[in-house]
Amino acid sequence: MSSDIGKMIREARQARGISLRALASQVGIHFSHLSKIENGKDQIGRDSLTKIAEELGVDPDLMLGEAGHQTVPFRVLGNIAAGEPIEAIEEIETFDLTKVFDPQDHFLLRVRGTSMILDGINDGDLAIIRYTKAANTGDTVVALVDGGEATLKRFKKVKNTITLIPANDQLTAMEFPASRVEIRGVFVGLVRTAVK
């Protein structure tokens, strides 16, 4: 078992704005056991780890991989035209998401809702987030307002005011004093999981 699995659970839980007691209750384990897991003082079984990953919107395979289970990289079989037709040539290479986005520095969140659709981020997609508590204007961030639920929005800061901007013409930007907003990560990539 990787000694970092507890850290990954804790950081993903905090990024979602979920308390330790709430997560433990949701997955059916005692909160003191979850606390020990997060602090690297106790082990976690595969079933419990899968439940936690699903509850946090993290790819279970990523967490299972962190827990010492073998993961298999995807194979990229070649190129496909999205404009002018090209000759389809099979050139097999492997693609391992963890080689591009280090699991120690990144986590996945399942997108729920359509507030970022104009940026190509759809309901059901997996957002790849880099752990950070700082952001620059123009970044797409995971933000918590008043310690509540996490939201994915474009970030803009002017003096002591932060504006969280949706990428959806039907929604309006939300403006807050900077002291009310906590950044938990910056969006760096996307795994499209549903084709509509």
pLDDT, tens digit (0-9, with 9 covering 90-100), for 17-67: 888 888 888 888 888 888 888 888 887 777 788 888 888 877 666 666 544
Evaluate whether residue 83 is within a structural domain: no
Range of the domain at 164: 106-191
Q: How many domains does the chain have?
A: 2
Residue 119 and residue 183 in one domain: yes
Q: Which residues pair with 10 in a beta bridge?
A: none
Please state whether the predicted TM-score (pTM) of the whole model is above 0.85. Answer: no
Tell me whether residue 3 is one of the annotated catalytic residues: no
Q: Which residue is catalytic, options 35, 51, 99, 153?
A: 153
Residue 91 lies in a domain: no
Neighbouring C-beta atoms of residue 142, cutoff 10 Å: 26
Which residue among the candidates 3, 36, 51, 115 is catalytic per the annotation?
Answer: 115
Residues 194, 41: Cα–Cα separation, whole Å: 38
Buried b (16+ CB within 10 A) or exposed e, 65-76: bbbeeeeeeeee
Question: What residues in the chain have per-residue pLDDT under 70?
Answer: 1-3, 59-95, 194-196
Decide if 179 is catalytic.
no
144 domain residue, yes or no: yes
